[in-house]
Amino acid sequence: MNSDLIKNDTYDKYISIGTSDNMIINVSRDTIKKSPVLYNILNLSNEYSNETVDINNDGTYLFFTKYNLNYNSIKLILLVLEYGLEDIKLFNFLNQMDEKDFLNARSLADEICIDIPLKLYIYSYLPNSKGDDIYNQYQFLEYYMDDSLSSEKLNNHKILREYLDNDWIICGQKYLDKNKIKTLIMLRKKIEM
């Protein structure tokens, strides 16, 4: 490791965390400090013997790899530490997250005293069809577009834009032919109560 890097303040503010899927997440020490248990496990205060901390030759902390946590699981734990449970960044991340990764993150987070409620995943889930909408909070619409005729293409896109301007969100798209000219677009809108 370059000794000039060690003297650099930026280097001291961040650590690298390895994942089970061979990725590296760089995170602020201040974020880790929000969890005293994790901060001590990683020995970021240098109060304990470094022999107990699993670090590779590049200075990457490997604590999470022992628990077979992948990038998404670790990122979830770090987002909860960084932003709390009510931030939109967390909910946006959860919408693309697999349930298994969520449960893995939640399991380890519980062991290291970081609260990630099970209902967090349920409440952040946005259904993509009427069948997925178990709480009946959304209305759904399937919009068929055929762009094979240039005269219809402009009109189709104008109608779709009107839906989007009226708070409908595209939640799925399916091409109905190999040339990707005929499309079925699934739209979702929250039911106003």
* Residue at a domain's end among 124, 149, 165: 124
**Do 142 and 54 belong together in one domain?**
no
95, exposed or middle or buried, with CB in 10 Å at 0-12, 13-18, 19+? Answer: exposed
State which of 105, 124, 143 marks the end of a domain. 124
For residue 156 the two structure tokens come to: 């189709």
Q: Are residues 28 and 58 in the same domain?
A: yes
Residues 95 and 36 in one domain: yes
Res 1 pLDDT > 70 = no
80 lies in which domain range?
3-124
Position 107 scores a pLDDT of 95
114 and 156 part of one domain: no
Q: What global pTM score does this model have?
A: 0.65
The answer to whether residues 54 and 67 touch, using CB atoms and an 8 Å cutoff, is: no
- The pLDDT of 137-159, averaged and rounded, is 87
Residues 116 and 136 in one domain: no
Structure token pair of residue 173 = 């798209």
Last residue of some domain: 88, 106, 124? 124
What are the φ and ψ backbone dihedral angles of 54, each rounded to 5 degrees? Answer: -90, 105
* Confidence label for 50 from pLDDT (cuts 50, 70 and 90): low
Residues 101 and 141 in one domain: no
Residues 85 and 56: their CA atoms lie apart, in Å, by 31
DSSP strand pairing (60-61 vs 14-18): parallel
Same domain, 43 and 138: no
What pLDDT is recorded for position 187? 94
Check residues 47 and 140 and name the one with the higher pLDDT.
140
As a whole number of angstroms, the distance between CA 76 and CA 97 comes to 9
CATH number at residue 69: 3.30.710
96 and 142 assigned to the same domain: no
> What total of structural domains would you count in the chain?
2
For 16-20, 131-135, 144-148, 159-163, which range has the lowest pLDDT when averaged over its residues?
131-135
According to the per-residue pLDDT averaged within each range, which of 48-62, 145-159, 175-189 is highest? Answer: 175-189
